Chain A
Amino acid sequence: MSGPPLLELRDVAKHFGTHEAVRGVTEAFQAGEYVCILGASGCGKTTLLRLIAGFETPSRGDIALEGQSLIAVPPERRNVNLVFQDYALFPHLTVRANVEFGLEMRRVAAADRARRADAALALVDLPATGDRFPQQLSGGQRQRVAVARALVNEPAVLLLDEPLSALDRGLRQQMQAELRRIQRNVGITFLHVTHDQGEALSLADRVAVMHAGRFVQVGTPREIYERPRSRLVAEFVGASNVIPRPRLAPWLGPSGAGDGVTLVRPERIGIAAEPMEGRAVVGTVRRTAYFGATVECLVDAAGLALVVHVPAAAAAGLTDGAAVWLRIAAEDVVALAEDVA
């Protein structure tokens, strides 16, 4: 992506007392991007969004929107909107009044307000609920209202703090698709915080993996998944076999082995119940677990305990205690950097 960045974070840090919640984040976000910020609980995701929204003042660094520093701008005058984790719908206002609230604050005329609120409610697929109160809606509907209430203001950036965490699994997957559709539709930059790696990988144009107050890797979902830079990212995103490189010698030969730590994704390991040609190593299935589309096998081979994923259709003969042959190709071995603390 190119062009001047829409939103820029320059060495943004925030500490509460002695605790550093955000420790110097530098990143630029482009117009129209869908970015997921992925990280474990307590790593500073919410704090980062609150810094951008204006509810916290950075201890250091700068935040700029369309080239203008936001530091001295109070939240009500920032052209960004936040979808709160608990939605924060106003309980005493109807759905329509909730959606119109931001326009009313900007003194948009009543007729215009109504038109835009209708459009926003239609966008989130919630027509004809305008006269209800938030308490009369289901969790998924409240979520949509929260998104409509923020989007109707046409912010430059929409911030979403774990917007789907309060929903059950099925609804969450449906809403993921909805969010993506809505974002495509309006073309607004979405900054979506989540601790669910599946959600991040399936939704985002780019994923920023956050750990202990820092962005440890930013890239496309494919890059993050296939080329994680460090063990930390590798283990956070997807199931992983993290193996010291010398231990791979049975597969790669002494020349292919070397120093450092490597990653091999479970679905990249070839497995068969019969001997294979090429450099296959024999092992024993210790345990299998059935996941519907795939079967997960825990295999002891060459002194390693490896996790292997096989399409269920190809899993015949992979029973507990069975002898199996494993193959690992050099191009599926990813070198990992040591993590900085």
Chain B
Amino acid sequence: MRPAARRALFGAVLAFVYAPILVVVVYSFNDSRFALAWQGFTLRWYRSLLASAEFRTALENTLVISLSATLLATALGTLLAVGIHFLRFPGRRALQALLYLPVVMPDIVMAVGLLALYVATHLTLGRVSVILAHVSFQISFVALVVGGRLQGFPVSLVEAARDLGAGPLAVLRRIVLPVIRPGIAAGAVVAATLSVDDFLITYFTAGAGASTLPIRIYAMVKRGVTPDVNALATLLLVFTIGVSLLALRGVGRPNRTGETA
């Protein structure tokens, strides 16, 4: 491909991908409720957003839900990956295959299933039901990321630790977890962004009380295009891109022992 053609191609795709998003960001600073024309720079949409009780509740819900769900999913997913990697047991292959299902299952189907379960068991919809729902799709991602990190883990390290007198728990705590910590962190970040971003499953399982930021956005968008949606969208955008970039740097960076992560 000639450089000129390549530049034109990159430019066109870049415009297609980023222009719409840029419009949202730019209009979140436009000092007019309706006009498309630029009326001057303002932060008032952000101020009114931050002042709104609904936004604060949604933010609080999002933080509580994604933190709890991520902690739980990271613990469960890491243990799962470690068990699958180091132990041989009946059903291991099936379990490995099962891990991919929540990744490929359409959100709407998981949402319907979880709601059906909650209704059938009379579980009150709220933060708890959403946390459980998020964990159910996060576990897979954590286990797959951590499992990837374990691929290169030398079995001889485990054997060396046992040879030196470490029981299973000590091997896990002192050798395996510290060595794969970058992988656990990466898995946790993936899980957290999935939780913060999730709309559909939360929408089905949250009930009235536990609306999150994506649910706020959805409700506002359904009511029409307003500058505060732009502001909220911009905030969420900055947050997820920021966290993901940080995570990417963390994964690519050599850890303190000088070995590339």
Direct contact of A and B (CB under 8 A): yes
- A residues with CB within 8 A of B: 53-55, 74-77, 81-82, 84, 86, 88-92, 101-102, 105-106, 133-136, 149-150, 153
Does B159 sit at the interface, judged by CB under 8 A? yes
Contact A77 B179, CB 8 Å, known A90-B157, A135-B258: no
Question: Which residue in chain B gives the minimum CB-CB distance to A159?
Answer: B163
Distance, CA A191 to CA B96, complexed state (A): 40
Distance, CA A86 to CA B159, complexed state (A): 12
Distance, CA A19 to CA B13, complexed state (A): 58
Contact between B178 and A84, CB atoms less than 8 A apart: no
**Residues of chain A with a CB closer than 8 A to B49's CB:** none
Could you say which of A82, A91, A135, A153 contacts B165, with CB atoms under 8 Å apart?
A153
- B residues with CB within 8 A of A: 154, 156-157, 159-167, 170, 174-175, 178-179, 255-259
Contact between B156 and A76, CB atoms less than 8 A apart: no
Contact between A105 and B257, CB atoms less than 8 A apart: no
Contact between B161 and A101, CB atoms less than 8 A apart: yes
Question: Which residue in chain B gives the minimum CB-CB distance to A133?
Answer: B257
**Residues of chain A with a CB closer than 8 A to B156's CB:** 84, 86, 88
- Could you list 12 further interchain pairs (A-B, Cβ under 8 angstroms) beyond the known A75-B162, A76-B162, A105-B164? A53-B159, A55-B162, A76-B163, A76-B164, A84-B160, A88-B157, A88-B160, A90-B175, A92-B178, A92-B255, A101-B161, A133-B257
Contact between A90 and B258, CB atoms less than 8 A apart: no
Question: Which residue in chain B gives the minimum CB-CB distance to A84?
Answer: B156
| A170 CB to nearest B CB, Å | 26
Distance, CA A54 to CA B163, complexed state (A): 8
The number of residue pairs between A and B whose CB atoms lie closer than 8 Å in the complex comes to 71
Contact A88 B154, CB 8 Å, known A101-B164, A102-B165, A105-B165: yes
| A324 CB to nearest B CB, Å | 53
| A15 CB to nearest B CB, Å | 17
**Residues of chain A with a CB closer than 8 A to B179's CB:** 90-92
Distance, CA A133 to CA B162, complexed state (A): 21
| A220 CB to nearest B CB, Å | 30
Distance, CA A76 to CA B169, complexed state (A): 12
Question: Which residue in chain A gives the minimum CB-CB distance to B178?
Answer: A92
Distance, CA A188 to CA B166, complexed state (A): 22
Contact between B175 and A76, CB atoms less than 8 A apart: no
Contact between B258 and A136, CB atoms less than 8 A apart: yes
**Residues of chain A with a CB closer than 8 A to B255's CB:** 92
Contact between B162 and A91, CB atoms less than 8 A apart: no
**Residues of chain B with a CB closer than 8 A to A102's CB:** 164-165
**Residues of chain B with a CB closer than 8 A to A92's CB:** 178-179, 255, 257
Question: Which residue in chain B gives the minimum CB-CB distance to A79?
Answer: B165
